[in-house]
Amino acid sequence: MKIHLPGFLLPRPSLRFIHIWRRNRLVWTKLAIPSMLGNLADPMLYMLGLGYGLGAMLPHVVGMPYIAFLAAGTVCSSTMMSASFESMYSSFSRMHVQHTWDAILNAPVMLDDVVAGEAVWAASKAFLSGAAVLIVATALGLVASPLALWVLPVVFITGLAFAGLGLIMTSLSPSYDFFMYYFTLAITPMMLASGVFFPLSQLPAWLQAAAQALPLTHAVALVRPLMTGSVPQSAGVHVLVLVSYALASCYVALALARRRLLK
């Protein structure tokens, strides 16, 4: 019997992914202002509202004002949200509703390139979101030193990890409604268990251990010290987890997309 798993052949993306990235950027430039506002308004409101409102009632959190603590968390959570929305709702529209991927696949572009282009594009949008929060935090005096520039690559890798996870959902999804499960069962709990709003040490021990498996935990563990002026502990481990998430999720997303589209 012939064993046949073409979906899981190693990815062979090429530089042609840039054409897909450029296409998405061209659409985005038409809507850049409202899109950026939408991306920024929500995290900013939470950051400022909770940071100053709730923060006024709190003593320092792990040695810093709550608003500074929250700003680092918001950089990561808004990166996650932006990558997730783009790689699910927007990519799903292009793949399933508008048949844009089908059109592209009639050109000399492979599905590997399309998925890579979508993932890198979602990571790029996430990068803008995370960077925008970082800029606002800097303007508010919440960033301690130029060490914070290292946040930018972390934000990109985090974006790529969540783009890959989102594309997995997209490749499995029968409709837009499906994404609600992912948001309710994965994104929201992750946001609460990864140290975005409060330190991990507030969680019961078992949940702290489980949180180590979440990519957002590692993003926060890198970004918070970088923004408050210290070198993160075990930085190599955190980077390795994020990079692994990014590569593995993009690979699985591609395998599932092949199974769905190249039947």
Partner 1 sequence: MRHLRVANLRKSYDAMEVVAGLDLEIEAGVCFGLLGPNGAGKTTTLRLCLGLSEPDSGEIAILGFAVPEHAREARARIGVVPQVDNLDPDFSVRENLLVYGSYFGLRQRDIEARIPDLLEFAGLTSREHARIQTLSGGMKRRLTLARALVNDPQLMFLDEPSTGLDPQARHLIWERLRKLTSEGRTIVLTTHFMDEAERLCHRVAIIDHGRKIAEGTPRELITQYIEPQVVEVYGDGAEAWAETYGRSASERCEKTGETFFCYTRDADAIVHALDRESNVRYLHRPANLEDVFLKLTGRELRD
96 binds partner 1 (CB under 8 A): no
8 binds partner 1 (CB under 8 A): no
Neighbours of 152 (CB within 10 A): 14
Residues contacting residue 259 through CB under 8 Å, at least 6 positions apart: 7, 171
Task: List, as one string, the DSSP characters of 221-234.
Answer: HHHHHHHHTSPPTT
Q: Which of 105, 131, 152, 248 binds partner 1 (CB under 8 A)?
A: 105
Nearer to partner 1, 26 or 139 (CB): 26
Task: Determine if 108 is a binding residue for partner 1 (CB under 8 A).
Answer: yes
Provide the minimum distance between the beta carbon of 98 and partner 1 in the complex, in angstroms, as a whole number: 6
Considering only 105-113, 184-192, 198-206, 208-216, which stretch makes contact with partner 1 by CB under 8 A?
105-113
Helix (H) or strand (E) holding 17: helix 17-30
Centre a 10 Å sphere on the Cβ of residue 204 and count the other Cβ atoms it contains: 8
Helix ranges (DSSP H) in 140-234: 151-172, 178-182, 188-193, 205-211, 215-228
Taking the complex as a whole, how short is the minimal distance between the CB of residue 29 and partner 1, in angstroms?
A: 11
Return d(Cα 218, Cα 138) in angstroms, integer: 22
Helix (H, G, I), strand (E, B) or coil at 64: strand
Q: With binding defined as CB under 8 A, does residue 102 bind partner 1?
A: yes
25 binds partner 1 (CB under 8 A): no
CA 155 and chain centroid, separation: 8
Tell me the closest approach of the beta carbon of residue 27 to partner 1, in angstroms.
Answer: 4
CA distance 241 to 245: 6
The least CB distance from residue 218 to partner 1, in Å, is 35
Q: Is 23 in the site for partner 1 (CB under 8 A)?
A: yes
Bridge-partner residues for 61, per DSSP?
64
Contact range with partner 1 by CB under 8 A, out of 104-112, 139-147, 165-173, 207-215: 104-112
Task: Answer yes or no whether residue 5 interacts with partner 1 by CB under 8 A.
Answer: no
| Residue 76, both tokens | 């990561």
Choosing from 3, 106, 204, 236, the residue that interacts with partner 1 (CB under 8 A) is 106
Which tokens belong to 85?
């929305």
Output 105 or 203, the one with its CB closest to partner 1: 105
Measured from the CB of residue 108, what is the shortest distance to partner 1 in angstroms?
A: 4
3-class DSSP state for residue 61? strand
Rule CB under 8 A: choose which of 3, 26, 139, 205 binds partner 1. Answer: 26
Rounded to whole angstroms, how far apart are CA atoms 2 and 20? 35
Point out which residues bind partner 1 (CB under 8 A). Answer: 6, 16, 19, 22-23, 26-27, 30, 98-100, 102-110, 261-263
